Amino acid sequence: MTHPLLIGLNAQQQRAVQAIHGPVLVLAGPGSGKTRVLTHRIAYLINEVGVRPYNILAVTFTNKAAREMRERLSNLIGESRAHDVMMGTFHSICARWLRRDIQHLQRANDFVVYDADDQQRVMKQILRELDLSEKQYNPRSIHARISAAKNELIGVAEFARSVSSYFDEIVLRCYERYEKQLFANNALDFDDLLLKTVNLFEYHSEVLARYAERYVHVMVDEVQDTNRVQFSLVNHVGAGHNNYFLIGDIQQSIYAWRGARLANVREFEEAHPDVQIIPLEQNYRSTQPILDVAQSIIDAAHDRRHTTKIWTDQQDGDLVSLVEAYDHNEEARWVADEIMRIRGRDGRSLDDFAVMYRTNAQSRAFEEAMISRGLRYKLVGGTRFYERKEIKDIVAYLRIIHNPHDEVSLLRVINVPGRSIGDRTQQELLQWARNLDISIWDALELLVTNEAQNPPIGGRARNAVEQFQKLVAGLRDLRHDLMLGELIQRLLERVPFQELLVAEYGEEEGAERWENILELQNVSMEYLALPTEDQLPRFLEEVALVSDVDSLDTTKAREPGVTLITLHQAKGLEYPVVFLAGLEEGLLPHGRSIDDPESIEEERRLLYVGTTRAKQRLYMLYAFKRATWGRTDLTIPSRFLGDIPKDLLQRTPTREVKQMPVHAATQWQSSTPQRTRGAQPSSSSMWSGASGSARPKRPEREPSAASYSAGDKVRHANFGEGVVVSSKMVGDDEEVTVAFPGKGVKKLLAAFAKLERV
Ligand code: ATP
Ligand code: MG
C-alpha cells in the first residue's frame, strides 16, 4: 500500500521523498514539484521514519516560503510537530543560532540586526568621520563592496591583504570603522548574521559539533542561488550526518549579481561522489503553450546547462499573448482593464493575478491604474510597511528599550518628537562619548546621575536630554514584565505620536500614518504565545528580517488583491494569470547588463523564471515609448522576444491600436522599414531592427555600410560613455543603438550624434 504521504506524488517524486540516506541532489525544472517534494519529505521523515522534528533543518529562500511550508507541513502532520522543525531563510536561522551562541565570539546576545536603512546611516556617519565626501564616495557602493566581501567570507584583515586600488583603500578604511561601529552598537548587519555564524563554527569546533550532531537532515531549496558563505554553512552543519537534500534549478539562477555561485552545486557533486541525483520531469504548474514559450527562451541561451526537458499533460490552453502598448501608462491601463475583463468572465479572484516587472520603479504606473479602477493590489517591494518613517521611529524606540547601546536607533529618536535636542547637541554628545570611550547611552546615564565632570551640554539641552534618558530608562524597567503589545501601549501613552503626526502631516495623512502605528499593535498580537520576555527580542529580529516578499502578507494583505512584484522576488511563486511588463531593451535585459554577455544570460534566465510562474494565462507586454530618467524615448522590444517562434504567440491589440490611423499600416510597407506602432511584424528581424518613427531631416550623404558594431565603446556629449548594442543603415543614415549606463538605451543617428569612439 502506498504511504499516505506519498499519495499525490509521481514515481520520481516518491523516490526523492524516500531517498533519506546520504547526499541527494534534485535538479529539476520549474513547476516540477521540487518544493512540494521537500515538504512531503519532511513529513515522511517525521511520521514514517520517526525522525524528531527538532533534528531537521530546512532552508527556504524567503520567510514567506518558510511560513507556507510550515503551514502545509502542519496540514500533513499536525501543528505541534511542524512547529519544531528548524525552518527559515539562512538569515533567520543564523539569527536564532547566534542569539544562543554568539557569546563565544565575545559578543552579547541582545544584539540588534541593522536593516538596509540602518546600514546606510552608519556608512554615512563613517564617511563624515573620515572627512570623505558622500558625493565622491557613494555610501551605497562602499557598503555594497563590504557586503560582497563578507559574502565571500573576507573579513577586514583579509580584505587588507588584497587591496589593489585606491577605491579599495577607501573601502578598507570604511570597512574597519564600520565593523568597530557595529561592534560598539552591539549590532549585526544582514551579512554578519551569516559570516559570524561561519566564524562561530570555524573558531569553536565544540559549538559546531553540537549543531552538526543535532541536524540529522539538512535540506535546502533554491540551492542554485546560494552564495559562498551560505554554502559553507550548509557544508558545516550537514557534515555530522552527511544527509543532505539539495533542490534547485540551474536554469533559474538569477542572483549571480549578489554573489550566488553555481560552482557550489558542482563542487558539492565533486566532494560527494556518492551523491544521488534525482530528476523530476513532469511540470504540474503550467499549460503546454506557456511551457513552449519558456522553453524557446531558455533554448536560445548561449550556455545550455543541464537541460532536462519538462513536459505537462495540460496540453490545452490559451496561446501566450504579446501586447504592444503605446507607452508605460497605456501598458498599465491595459493590464488593469484586462484584469477587470477576465475576472468577471472567468469568475477569478484578484489573488489569481500577478504583474511582474524588472525594476521597482515600474510599479508606480500599475499602482495608479489599479487605484483608478478600484482594484486592490499588493505591492511587493516599494515603501514597505516597516520602512515607513513612523513605523521605523517606533521600532527604533523598541530597539533602544531592548538594547540602549544601539546608537543608530538612539540618534534616530533622541529628537522624536522634537525636544530641542538639535544636531549640535547630538554631535557634542557623540564626541563626548567617543572621548570617554563609552556609548552615548552610558554618557546619558552619567548626566542623569550627575557623575559627569564638565559635561559638554547644559541648560535646556541638558534638561531635554535627561528627560529622554528617563523616558527610555522607565520603559526599559518594564520590558521583562509587559507583553509586547502592552509595552508599545505604554510607549504611545508617554510619547504623543498621534498629535505629532497630525501636526506634521495634516489631518488626513497624519491619521493614515497613525493607522500604521495601530497596525503595529496588531502585529504584536502574533507574539502572544511566546514567554513575555522573549516577545520583544523576537519581534525586533523578525522586523529586521522581513524580506521584500514578505510584504505580501503585511497590513491589509489578507484581502484578495493583484500582486505587483519584481521578477527577482517572484521566484518559487505561481499565479494563474501573469503579466510580464516592460519587455524592452534596457529594462529586460537591464541597461546595466548590456555590455556583459554573462549578465545578459542571467537576464534571460530571469525572463524564464517569469514565464514559468504562470499557470493558465501569460501575457508579455512592451511599450512603444517609455519615460525613463525624466525623458520619453522610443523603445526596442526585448531581444529575448525574438527567440520565441511566432506561432507560439498571439498578438493582442490594445484599444488604441484598433483606432490607429490607416497611414501607419502604409508606412510599414515603405521601402525603409520603420517600426510603426501597431504594425504586424513581417519577420523576426522586426524585433531587433526597430527604429523610431519620428526622425530628423537627414543630411545628404552617400549610402554606406554601418561603421559601428555591437560592443564598440563610444562617448556622447550628453549621455557620457556607452556601449553600442546594434547599428544598422536606415536609408542613408546609420542608426546606432547605444546603452548608456544609468541613462538608458538611446537610438542615435550617427550623422547627428557626434559620437566619439573610446
Ligand atoms: P519552482 O522551480 O518554480 O520553484 P517547483 O519545482 O518547486 O517549482 P512546486 O512549486 O513544488 O514546483 O510545484 C508546482 C505546482 O505543482 C504546485 O502547485 C504543486 O502543488 C503542484 N504539484 C507538484 N507535484 C504534483 C503532483 N504530483 N500532482 C499534482 N500537483 C503537483
Ligand atoms: Mg520551488
Same domain, 421 and 526: yes
CATH of the domain at 743: 2.40.10.170
Residue pair 285/615 in contact by the 8 Å Cβ criterion: yes
Same domain, 477 and 435: yes
642 is in an annotated binding site: no
pLDDT band at 700 (very low <50, low <70, confident <90, very high): very low
Say which amino acid occupies 11: A
Query: Separation of 32 CA from ligand 1 center, angstroms?
Result: 5
- For residue 239, report the phi and psi dihedrals to the nearest 5 degrees: -65, -25
321 is in an annotated binding site: no
At residue 554, the pLDDT reads: 43
Percent above pLDDT 70 for the chain? 88
pLDDT at 694 > cutoff 80: no
In this structure, which residue's CA is closest to atom 9 in ligand 1?
33
Evaluate whether ipTM surpasses 0.95: yes
Residues 452 and 443: their CA atoms lie apart, in Å, by 8
285 lines ligand 1 (CB under 6 A): yes
CATH of the domain at 444: 1.10.486.10
| 249 CA: nearest ligand 1 atom | 2
SS3 590: strand
Domain finish residue from 277, 304, 325: 277
8 lines ligand 1 (CB under 6 A): yes
Query: Separation of 191 CA from ligand 1 center, angstroms?
Result: 31
Q: Which of 581, 675, 661 is nearest to 633 (CA)?
A: 675
623 is in an annotated binding site: no
589 lines ligand 1 (CB under 6 A): no
16 is in an annotated binding site: no
In a domain, 556, yes or no: no
In a domain, 55, yes or no: yes
Contacts 24+ apart (CB under 8 A), 77-83: 77/43, 77/46, 77/47, 81/46, 81/53, 82/53, 83/53
At residue 659, the pLDDT reads: 41
Pocket test for ligand 1, best of 34, 284, 308, 314 (most atoms within 8 A of CB): 284
Predicted confidence (pLDDT) per residue in 425-476, tens digit: 898 898 888 888 888 999 999 888 888 777 888 888 899 999 999 999 999 9
- Please state the separation of Cα 467 from the chain's center in Å: 40
- Please state the separation of Cα 20 from the chain's center in Å: 32
314-328, 362-376, 473-487, 655-669, range with the lowest pLDDT:
655-669
555 lines ligand 1 (CB under 6 A): no
Residue pair 389/383 in contact by the 8 Å Cβ criterion: no
Catalytic residue list contains 252: yes
Catalytic residue list contains 303: no
In this structure, which residue's CA is closest to atom 8 in ligand 1?
31
In a domain, 456, yes or no: yes
Same domain, 116 and 90: no
Residues 65 and 277: their CA atoms lie apart, in Å, by 24
Same domain, 424 and 513: yes
Q: Which of 582, 547, 571, 552 is nearest to 380 (CA)?
A: 552
Catalytic residue list contains 221: yes
Residues 297 and 29: their CA atoms lie apart, in Å, by 14
What's the Cα-to-Cα distance from 515 to each of 296, 522, 752, rounded to whole Å? 48, 11, 55
SS3 135: coil
**Which candidate in 222, 352, 390, 550 is catalytic?**
222
Residue pair 626/325 in contact by the 8 Å Cβ criterion: no
Same domain, 128 and 249: no
Same domain, 462 and 530: yes
At residue 418, the pLDDT reads: 79
**Which candidate in 14, 15, 34, 362 is catalytic?**
34
Closest ligand to residue 613's CA: 1
29 is in an annotated binding site: yes
Q: Which of 32, 30, 34 is nearest to 298 (CA)?
A: 30
Pairing mode of beta strands 353-357, 575-580: parallel
pLDDT band at 385 (very low <50, low <70, confident <90, very high): low
- Residues 401-430, buried b or exposed e (16+ Cβ, 10 A)? bbbbbbbbbbbbbbbbeebebeeebbeebb
pLDDT band at 47 (very low <50, low <70, confident <90, very high): very high
CA atoms within 13 A on the CB side of 157: 0
Residues 413 and 407: their CA atoms lie apart, in Å, by 10
In this structure, which residue's CA is closest to atom 4 in ligand 1?
572
Query: Separation of 283 CA from ligand 1 center, angstroms?
Result: 7
Residue 613: how many other CB atoms lie within 10 Å = 25
In a domain, 589, yes or no: yes
pLDDT band at 735 (very low <50, low <70, confident <90, very high): confident
Query: Separation of 597 CA from ligand 2 center, angstroms?
Result: 27
In a domain, 90, yes or no: yes
At residue 631, the pLDDT reads: 60
**Which candidate in 119, 197, 252, 674 is catalytic?**
252
At residue 683, the pLDDT reads: 34
Give the residue ranges of DSSP H helices in 25-137: 34-44, 63-77, 79-83, 90-101, 116-129
Pocket test for ligand 1, best of 14, 27, 36, 578 (most atoms within 8 A of CB): 36
What pTM value is reported for the model?
Answer: 0.76
Cis omega (within 30 of 0) for bond into 597: no
Same domain, 706 and 748: yes
Same domain, 93 and 125: no
249 lines ligand 1 (CB under 6 A): yes
DSSP H or E stretch at residue 684: none
pLDDT at 233 > cutoff 80: yes
Residues 719 and 739: their CA atoms lie apart, in Å, by 9
In a domain, 252, yes or no: yes
Same domain, 441 and 527: yes
132-136, 340-344, 429-433, 652-656, range with the lowest pLDDT:
652-656
196-205, 267-276, 379-388, range with the lowest pLDDT:
379-388
In this structure, which residue's CA is closest to atom 1 in ligand 1?
30
Catalytic residue list contains 274: no
Q: Which of 626, 579, 652, 614 is nearest to 323 (CA)?
A: 652
Catalytic residue list contains 352: no
At residue 383, the pLDDT reads: 55
Total domains in the fold of the chain: 5
Residues 311 and 295: their CA atoms lie apart, in Å, by 10
**Which candidate in 358, 479, 613, 626 is catalytic?**
613
Percent above pLDDT 90 for the chain? 52
Same domain, 368 and 350: yes
| Sign of the dihedral defined by the CA atoms of residues 654, 588, 120, 488, in that order | positive
CATH of the domain at 333: 3.40.50.300
Predicted confidence (pLDDT) per residue in 169-203, tens digit: 999 999 999 999 999 889 999 999 999 999 999 99
Residue pair 637/585 in contact by the 8 Å Cβ criterion: yes
209-213, 493-497, 531-535, 734-738, range with the lowest pLDDT:
734-738
Query: Separation of 30 CA from ligand 1 center, angstroms?
Result: 8
Domain finish residue from 129, 163, 185: 185
199 lines ligand 1 (CB under 6 A): no
Same domain, 78 and 142: no
33 is in an annotated binding site: yes
DSSP string covering 353-420, please? EEEEESSGGGHHHHHHHHHHTT--EEESSSS-GGGSHHHHHHHHHHHHHH-TT-HHHHHHHTTSS--S
- For residue 418, report the phi and psi dihedrals to the nearest 5 degrees: -50, 120
Same domain, 393 and 372: no
Catalytic residue list contains 434: no
Residue pair 736/750 in contact by the 8 Å Cβ criterion: yes
Query: Separation of 169 CA from ligand 2 center, angstroms?
Result: 41
pLDDT at 695 > cutoff 50: no
Query: Separation of 222 CA from ligand 2 center, angstroms?
Result: 7
Query: Separation of 34 CA from ligand 2 center, angstroms?
Result: 5
632 is in an annotated binding site: no
pLDDT band at 668 (very low <50, low <70, confident <90, very high): very low
In a domain, 284, yes or no: no
281 lines ligand 1 (CB under 6 A): no
Domain range holding 340? 317-384+563-649
- For residue 724, report the phi and psi dihedrals to the nearest 5 degrees: -70, 130
In a domain, 271, yes or no: yes
Residues 28 and 34: their CA atoms lie apart, in Å, by 7
Residues 721 and 746: their CA atoms lie apart, in Å, by 12
Predicted confidence (pLDDT) per residue in 578-622, tens digit: 999 999 999 999 988 888 888 999 999 999 999 999 999 999 999
Residues 338 and 353: their CA atoms lie apart, in Å, by 11
Residue pair 549/576 in contact by the 8 Å Cβ criterion: no
- Please state the separation of Cα 666 from the chain's center in Å: 45
DSSP summary character for residue 160: H
248 lines ligand 1 (CB under 6 A): no
pLDDT band at 372 (very low <50, low <70, confident <90, very high): confident
Domain finish residue from 513, 545, 577: 545
pLDDT band at 628 (very low <50, low <70, confident <90, very high): low
| 284 CA: nearest ligand 1 atom | 16
Pairing mode of beta strands 756-757, 713-716: antiparallel
